Structure 1
Amino acid sequence: MTSIDDLSKVTLEEGVLRITISTAANGTSLDDEGMIQGAVALESFGNDIGSILLVGEGPNFCAGGNVRAFASAPDRGEYVEGVAQNLHTFVRALDAASVPVVAGIHGWAAGAGMSLVCLADIAIGGTSTKLRPAYPSIGFTPDGGMSWSLPRIVGAGRAREILLSDSIIGGDEAVRLGILTRLVGDDEVQEEAARLARTLAHGPSSSYAGIKALLRSSRTNTLSEQLDAEAASIKTAANSPIGREGVDAFVEKRRPDFVAAKQA
């Protein structure tokens, strides 16, 4: 079992939990150990995390699962299920996180890589970024939550077309569809994603947590139920140290210090 003392795929600096989801090894395929360590870090570091940054180390964000490993497994189904379960443990932890999730997507995001892009709160791509489900190309079906997240981003009909035709989606189209937040130069993706993650890590953390909780509840709530949830949430925010600091700073015409307010 991976412990907090053996987290070579993650770092925590300035409140930013940086998780490496792929490396140049194995053709930038999904790093199974990165998923395991990411889930451990999300549980272990708790309130020390101000934002989460998903990155790939190599020419791509993530080229999908390690198909060569699939092919060499004695029992392919059992092996692939194990990979999916590790990924899904990480996905559940990522979805439950109360802090912003930023992804820096350079090169390809295919298969599980695209699934993780769809889970990010903010996804920064480059002009050469490309996304592809990739599952049908090897006769597989989606994992990583893509069959759940993609329809919620692009709509059910468009998601069916993308998944069934195994569409290759360029950066501009991905922005139009809402899968990517925006594009920067290819050589700026990592730096811009890291800059944004640092900025968010020093922002109004309880406000972010409340926003994400409301977005999660909106998946199943009626409008009336969501209005009640919003009223309760904004009441809590107004009485919180961060909410008080935000209002006081506005009235006093100064920049709010949310970090100090959080520590108060």
Structure 2
Amino acid sequence: MMQPEALVLHRVEDGIGRLTLNRPEHGNALSVAFCQAWHDAVEQVIEARPRVVVLDANGPLFCAGGDIGEFVENRARLDAHIGAMLAILNPSMNRLANLSVPLLSVVHASLGGAGIAFACCADFVLASDTAKLRGGYSAIGLSPDLGASYYLSRRANATAAKRILMLNESLTAQACQALGLFDELYPAHELPAAAERLARRLAGSATGALGRIKRLCDGAAGHDIAPHLDLEAAALLACAQSADAAEGVQAFIDKRPAQFTGR
């Protein structure tokens, strides 16, 4: 069960893993304690073998980025301080990037800095139509972390990523959607229900097939067509041996909705 006092809330129910940033009074900024809580929560959710993972946040901001107060306290050894945080965070971000199930982020409010990575690392990004995104890093003389530059470049393009990260301009939710950073926009009061519908739809799908689709699409840019065709063939043949494929074919014959189990 989730513990309200935890810096990162987590649980897995009905095949849906949930990770909730829960340092609302500090804009969900990343402190050292928060980093450890995040790492531990990610590990526990993944170990529970969910069929989809949802990442969201509590409070007036989705995530403000690094904890500037801690940066000030550690300014004489800022590199060591940030290095210690990244040693905790990078492995967990890599774990999320390599999930074999869909990852959905729910951006209910504005974000910046490392919050960009938390939002844009997902396969599906649903956001409030009033959310805003700001690079943040260059304003304090820093470069990005946690994959923020990677996900901005991948979801939009390198030129857009450089503009966001270098010029520190604020982007509206609509501008983020136009660039491909946000996939769907909803009024704030409709966002939780929309995210829940998508999470349950994904959790009820053929999980093995979704995982293989995810890996194929994520790796497509790194392959020529010939090796990619081989990877597609291997994935398809593996899916064809699954119980979910047998159920999907039978459901098609029976003209009924398939009841997938993730096997």
Calculate the TM-score normalised by the size of structure 1: 0.90
2-side partners of 1:13 and 1:131: how far apart? 31
Does 2:235 correspond to 1:251?
no
Does 2:137 correspond to 1:128?
no
1-side partners of 2:7 and 2:135: how far apart? 29
Across the two proteins, how many residue pairs are aligned to each other?
Answer: 254
- Within the candidate set 144, 147, 152, 2:146 is matched to 144
1:232-247 alignment, distance < 5 Å: 232-247=234-249
Distance 1:154 1:8, change over 3 A: closer
1:156-167 alignment, distance < 5 Å: 156-167=158-169
1-side partners of 2:11 and 2:197: how far apart? 15
Kindly provide the amino acid, as one letter, of the partner of residue 68 in structure 1: G
Counterpart of 1:62 in 2: which secondary structure? Answer: coil
Distance 1:155 1:96, change over 3 A: same
User: For the Cα contact (< 8 Å) 1:16–1:52, is it kept in 2?
Assistant: yes
1-side partners of 2:190 and 2:82: how far apart? 34
Distance 1:215 1:85, change over 3 A: farther
Kindly provide the amino acid, as one letter, of the partner of residue 245 in structure 1: E
- Within the candidate set 204, 207, 232, 1:205 is matched to 207
The residue aligned with 1:75 is 77
Distance 1:85 1:219, change over 3 A: farther
Following superposition, the deviation at residue 179 of structure 1 comes to 0.7
User: For the Cα contact (< 8 Å) 2:133–2:171, is it kept in 1?
Assistant: yes
2-side partners of 1:237 and 1:24: how far apart? 42
Counterpart of 2:18 in 1: which secondary structure? Answer: strand
Does 2:178 correspond to 1:176?
yes
The residue aligned with 2:50 is 49
Kindly provide the amino acid, as one letter, of the partner of residue 59 in structure 1: P
Distance 1:42 1:223, change over 3 A: farther
Counterpart of 2:27 in 1: which secondary structure? Answer: helix
The residue aligned with 2:113 is 111
Distance 1:187 1:149, change over 3 A: same
User: Identical aligned pairs, as a percentage?
Assistant: 29
User: For the Cα contact (< 8 Å) 1:9–1:33, is it kept in 2?
Assistant: no
- CA shift digits 1:203-259 (9 cap, x unpaired): 110111111121233242212111111122112212211112112211221100002
The residue aligned with 1:38 is 41
User: For the Cα contact (< 8 Å) 1:22–1:29, is it kept in 2?
Assistant: no
Following superposition, the deviation at residue 128 of structure 1 comes to 0.6
Counterpart of 2:190 in 1: which secondary structure? Answer: helix
2-side partners of 1:153 and 1:43: how far apart? 24
Query: Which stretches in structure 2 are left out of the alignment for 5+ residues?
Result: 1-5
The residue aligned with 2:230 is 228
1-side partners of 2:46 and 2:253: how far apart? 37
Following superposition, the deviation at residue 188 of structure 1 comes to 2.3
Following superposition, the deviation at residue 8 of structure 1 comes to 6.2
2-side partners of 1:234 and 1:219: how far apart? 19
Following superposition, the deviation at residue 164 of structure 1 comes to 1.2
The residue aligned with 1:88 is 90
Counterpart of 1:216 in 2: which secondary structure? Answer: helix
Kindly provide the amino acid, as one letter, of the partner of residue 17 in structure 1: G
Counterpart of 2:222 in 1: which secondary structure? Answer: coil
Following superposition, the deviation at residue 127 of structure 1 comes to 1.3
Does 2:62 correspond to 1:61?
yes
Kindly provide the amino acid, as one letter, of the partner of residue 9 in structure 1: L
Alpha carbon RMSD of aligned pairs, Å?
1.9
Distance 1:17 1:257, change over 3 A: same
Query: Which stretches in structure 1 are left out of the alignment for 5+ residues?
Result: 1-5
Counterpart of 1:186 in 2: which secondary structure? Answer: coil
The residue aligned with 1:13 is 13
Which portions of structure 1, spanning 4 or more consecutive aligned residues, are displaced by more than 3 angstroms? none
Kindly provide the amino acid, as one letter, of the partner of residue 36 in structure 2: E
Distance 1:34 1:174, change over 3 A: farther
